[in-house]
Structure 1
Amino acid sequence: MSVDSKSNQFTHSNVERRASIVYGSVGKQGLFVPKDFLHLGAQQEDSSEQNEHEPLLGLPNNQSTKPRRKSSVARELLQQERDILINNQIPCDETDDNNIALAFEDAVINKKIKKATPLNELVALVKSSIPLVMTFLLQNSLSTVSVFSVGHLGAAELAAVSMGAMTANISGYATIQGVSTALDTLCPQAFGAKKYHLVGEYMQKCIALNFVIIAPVLVIWVFFGGEILKHIIPDEDTAVFAGEYLFYLCPGIPAYIMFECGKRFLQAQGIYHISTIVLLFAAPCNLVMNLIFVKKFGFIGAPIAVSINYWIMFLGLLFSTLYISRKSDTDTPMKCWSSLSVRRAFLGWRNLVSLAIPGWIMLEAEFLAFEILTFMASYLGTRKLAAQAVGLTIASLTYQVPFAIGIASSTRIANYLGAGLGESAKTTTKVAICFGFVVSLLNFFTLYIFQMPIAELFTKDPKVIEIIHDIMWLVALMQISDSMNANSAGCLRGQGQTKIGGIVNLVSYYVIGIPMSIYLSFFSPWKGSLDGLWIGTTTALTIIAVVQTYCSLHVDFDYLCDQARKRTSESLLF
């Protein structure tokens, strides 16, 4: 069966079957994409020969006569197609697989399926988020373990690791992650449009772009980091330690770049379990190395352990991806990899840069805002700086849960838009926002109830613990706004609207939040406490969450589908 390309782009074939859109695959608990329900193309051409100007959802070849595969994935897909037909009250013979496939195809072509159901989307997001939450918590534990291990050396060392991490976050991690957010839009949309080779090419281009940007930053860290920090941090010993932290962190940054981009390469295909497995091995290694290296080498043992661990993470991700591709001949991560081309990696950055810049601004604005607060805390005293470091570490850990939901939502929304299913993308956006709000309440109650036990995990200094206890109610309260911010930002990335996030982050933090924090902490009747820093931050996050949520829910999804079509149809060479 086929249709005219001008009237409809959907078709049905019995090959190139993948997992379903609603539930996770067996053993992967991964995200499945709208294209899985569209069954496009009977035979995939060699990716290097595909025309990048072809329609978004390629035109059908002759109908395949091969029987539908009876793998567990295919059976699960059939069940989901059956459920969707039933939910939409579309008649079909529930016992006949071929009838289900034809009825589903006819429903898509004639637009009888308007959107996915909220319940199905919720189930899919929960299943997708679980391995992502594990991944991000494990990844975030790398820096948390450093704070934990160094914190027991003393307040000065705890303050130093906080300042070193602050500098690394502002000038390094925020840049890498911000640039890499472009892949959260480009790769899932290319995958949803069945242009698999573009997924791999975008990843290579993003790695190259990150290397070009981060190279001068590493030079500064190595040769000038300590001296620069001496002019910024009031305590010289803290500045020296922080400079050493940056120096020993440098060798691991290239591996961190490749891991971040590789992780997004897999996430775009709905494959989340590989990075989780890698981190399940890497996180304990990081803990053991931290404990051993800090005991043997002192403060510098922490950044050395983190740097080594980044290479363990990257090599583990690479090995796992290649190993899986050899074990199976279908539905493998490497189907989105055509070949390594260094020359092409440094060409055709237009689409990438157009999304990377606002993505970088959005993340950099947030990273920098929080690190400015850490910097201001250094002028309130060493113990208050140490308490601020613990508070930010706790907030960062809890942030990983809504952030994981945001990533799952981003991928799913982008997949839908790439396949031209705007109504389903709209449903996913609504479900993601509601799901994120529930998680925000859970984070709030967890931190509020377990204030003292959490503080005592990080330090034994009673005065630092007392300060932490004083601000924990604010750290807990901030979770509601921060969670909504993470989820709405994920929706905007999936929709390709990162510019909105960039603008609202800049205005909220630097026009409202930070000035309020400075006033409350240094000039108001309550000056000298950390409370003002957290009140200003919470105010900014609340504004961001409200604006981003509104924008993500009130966008024209048909327009977003058109934008996705144009984006994946354009040549990468210009």
Structure 2
Amino acid sequence: MSLENRDSDMDGGYGSIPRGADAVISTDSDGLTCVEIGASTTSKWEFREIGRNASPLMVTFLLQMSLSFMTVVSVGQLNALDLGGVSLANVTFAATSAVFQGLATCLDTLCPQAYGSKRYQLVGLYLQRCLAISMLVAVPVALLWWFSADVLRFMVDDPRLVIIAARFLRVMVASIPGYVVFECGKKYLQAQNDFTTGQYILFVCAPLNAVLNYVLVFRLKMGYIGAPIATALTFTLMGASIAACIWYLQGKNGERECWNPISNWRPIFSQWGTMVSLAVPGIIMIEAEFLAFESLTVLAAKFGTDALAAQSIVASVQTLTFQVPFSTGVAASNRIAYHIGKKQIQDCKIAARTVLVQIGGILAVSNFAFLVLGRHRVSAFFSKDEGVVKLASEILPIIAVNQFADVFNVLSAGILRAQGRQRLGGILNIVAYYVVGIPAAMILGFHTSLEIKGFWIGLGCGIFVLAIGEVYCVWLSDWSRIIHDSHLLHKSEVSNDFEEATE
């Protein structure tokens, strides 16, 4: 595990740079020092670093996705009723637990910036503060899951499905602490160039989850209720494992450890405004996209079983291909936020251009080619029904065009998180999906002969608007102002009490 690569700036640690770089230094009225020209990095170097960090993230996200997938696979061997109830519970779980993912995105901004500016103990403080906020938010989420039957019965006609889904979600309440600790812990470690610990934990926990599903559902004959028990146990183990890694990590390197002593607990429960202001738009960005895509699956049922099956196939393929640019966006966010913390303007510009032009171009073309050229084989892998395969094969080229644009959207969103401009991303997401995408999808789907294809064309219009908007905002970024604001943000966090505790 990458637990000791902390701050060797010239010898391969996070932010390691080519030797011999020249720089011109300037200082503004607030005493902020920035590198304006003579950058200390190159496009080739940024391409290598971001690509190297993105690879383990892809594996991590795919393995984490497999946890929910295994519940569907195991319960699917029982009967259609149980499968329907568990699928309903999984959608509800994904939609509501995304709140915790959105909260954790504030750490994509704060932790790498603090690490780059060498305010090491602030990195630990931000983690502790995010955990405290997340646990507070967990209370209404847990209550929603516990009493989910009262909500689901307004949306689902079959009371049997409601009972199964509600029982599933009640068990999943036990998964919340582990889920929250793992999500926040990943961000904390990634800020310190550790992109592999989460991957290694899932290398153990994902197969264990499959084994637990088999044992509880089939060997112990617990039925569908064994699936959420297995998942809750797995999330608990994941949270405990990453907490143990963090405990080990924060004990290293003496005075430079990235940790706020627990004895200095007052800052953990103060100055939440900044973190909340970054977290709320992060939640909006995740939820806006998730709900837009999920609504298509629900509405596809109106066009018959073949359309619903084809929609399930293309949605699954879209989710899988999405993980590649999403992982790269997380890696890029951490890298650029680190440069912001180092107050290096040209390095920020070079990294951002490399992400959008070089990495974005390669990923967009690769995803497009895969979805177009492999559309028949991919569709046949998921279904043997010729009608379903034919329809899915006709939709995948539309998905390919959407994914081409979505790559730049996802990468730009990562850069906006690095800059601390999540609010802008949240506004653009709402406009793109709910002013443009969903209305266009409704018109093309229900008022033309395109039907389900019209859904994806309409949503694609929203994706293109979002991609253009976010790329435009990133390309015209005022990096001097962004670095200035970041400096003032972290400087304001260091209160007298905190400074005394870190001496």
Aligned to 1:5: none
Aligned to 2:165: 242
Aligned to 1:114: 39
Report the Cα offset of residue 493 of structure 1.
Answer: 0.3
Contact 1:29 1:272 in 2 (8 A): no
Report the Cα offset of residue 543 of structure 1.
Answer: 1.2
CA distance in structure 1 between the aligned counterparts of 2:11 and 2:355, rounded to whole angstroms: 27
1:471 aligns with 2:406: no
Report the Cα offset of residue 238 of structure 1.
Answer: 4.2
Aligned to 2:278: 355
CA distance in structure 2 between the aligned counterparts of 1:340 and 1:449, rounded to whole angstroms: 59
Aligned to 1:22: none
**1:114-263 mapped onto 2 (5 Å cutoff):** 114-151=39-76, 159-170=84-95, 172-223=96-147, 225-263=148-186
Letter in 1 for 2:137: I
Aligned to 1:551: 473
CA distance in structure 1 between the aligned counterparts of 2:159 and 2:460, rounded to whole angstroms: 31
Aligned to 2:262: 339
Report the Cα offset of residue 120 of structure 1.
Answer: 0.9
Report the Cα offset of residue 515 of structure 1.
Answer: 1.3
Letter in 2 for 1:320: C
1:391 to 306, 309, 314: 314
Name the stretch that deviates more: 494-503 or 472-481: 472-481
Report the Cα offset of residue 409 of structure 1.
Answer: 0.9
CA distance in structure 2 between the aligned counterparts of 1:510 and 1:110, rounded to whole angstroms: 40
3-state DSSP of counterpart to 1:258: helix
**1:229-378 mapped onto 2 (5 Å cutoff):** 229-295=152-218, 296-324=221-249, 329=253, 334-339=257-262, 344-378=267-301
- When the two chains are superposed, the root-mean-square deviation of aligned CA atoms in Å is 3.2
Name the stretch that deviates more: 139-148 or 490-499: 139-148
Letter in 1 for 2:444: L
Contact 1:30 1:273 in 2 (8 A): no
3-state DSSP of counterpart to 1:335: coil
- Superposed CA deviations along residues 269-298 of structure 1, whole A, max 9, x for unmatched, are 111111111111111112222344444444
- Superposed CA deviations along residues 48-98 of structure 1, whole A, max 9, x for unmatched, are xxxxxxxxxxxxxxxxxxxxxxxxxx6557x966x431x6599xxxxxxxx
Report the Cα offset of residue 427 of structure 1.
Answer: 0.8
TM-score between both structures, scaled by the size of structure 2: 0.86
CA distance in structure 2 between the aligned counterparts of 1:119 and 1:355, rounded to whole angstroms: 31
CA distance in structure 2 between the aligned counterparts of 1:152 and 1:465, rounded to whole angstroms: 23
Aligned to 1:413: 336
State the percentage of identical aligned residues.
34
Aligned to 1:445: 369
CA distance in structure 1 between the aligned counterparts of 2:429 and 2:161, rounded to whole angstroms: 30
Report the Cα offset of residue 153 of structure 1.
Answer: 5.0
Letter in 2 for 1:242: A
Letter in 2 for 1:256: Y
**1:503-518 mapped onto 2 (5 Å cutoff):** 503-518=427-442
CA distance in structure 2 between the aligned counterparts of 1:213 and 1:183, rounded to whole angstroms: 16
CA distance in structure 2 between the aligned counterparts of 1:298 and 1:109, rounded to whole angstroms: 61
CA distance in structure 1 between the aligned counterparts of 2:94 and 2:200, rounded to whole angstroms: 25
Letter in 2 for 1:84: R
Higher helix proportion, which one? 2
1:436 to 352, 360, 366: 360
CA distance in structure 2 between the aligned counterparts of 1:308 and 1:459, rounded to whole angstroms: 32
CA distance in structure 2 between the aligned counterparts of 1:371 and 1:31, rounded to whole angstroms: 40
CA distance in structure 2 between the aligned counterparts of 1:460 and 1:155, rounded to whole angstroms: 19
CA distance in structure 2 between the aligned counterparts of 1:414 and 1:109, rounded to whole angstroms: 14
Aligned to 1:84: 19
Structure with max Cα Rg: 1
- Superposed CA deviations along residues 365-421 of structure 1, whole A, max 9, x for unmatched, are 112212222332344455644543443233222212111111111111111111110
Aligned to 2:30: none
CA distance in structure 2 between the aligned counterparts of 1:387 and 1:240, rounded to whole angstroms: 28
Structure 1 residues 110 and 329, CA gap change in structure 2 (3 angstroms): closer
3-state DSSP of counterpart to 1:129: helix
Aligned residues: 484
Report the Cα offset of residue 363 of structure 1.
Answer: 1.5
CA distance in structure 1 between the aligned counterparts of 2:6 and 2:461, rounded to whole angstroms: 37
3-state DSSP of counterpart to 1:211: helix
Structure 1 residues 178 and 335, CA gap change in structure 2 (3 angstroms): closer
TM-score between both structures, scaled by the size of structure 1: 0.76
1:567 aligns with 2:502: no
Structure 1 residues 239 and 436, CA gap change in structure 2 (3 angstroms): farther
CA distance in structure 2 between the aligned counterparts of 1:471 and 1:158, rounded to whole angstroms: 26
Report the Cα offset of residue 514 of structure 1.
Answer: 0.9
3-state DSSP of counterpart to 1:253: helix
Letter in 1 for 2:427: I
CA distance in structure 2 between the aligned counterparts of 1:154 and 1:456, rounded to whole angstroms: 24
Structure 1 residues 211 and 323, CA gap change in structure 2 (3 angstroms): closer
Structure 1 residues 387 and 184, CA gap change in structure 2 (3 angstroms): same
CA distance in structure 1 between the aligned counterparts of 2:373 and 2:72, rounded to whole angstroms: 23
Report the Cα offset of residue 118 of structure 1.
Answer: 0.5
Report the Cα offset of residue 547 of structure 1.
Answer: 1.0
3-state DSSP of counterpart to 1:114: coil
Letter in 1 for 2:484: D
- Superposed CA deviations along residues 99-158 of structure 1, whole A, max 9, x for unmatched, are xxxxxxxxx999663352111111111111122222122212222333444455566655
Contact 1:425 1:557 in 2 (8 A): yes
CA distance in structure 1 between the aligned counterparts of 2:233 and 2:86, rounded to whole angstroms: 17
Letter in 2 for 1:555: S
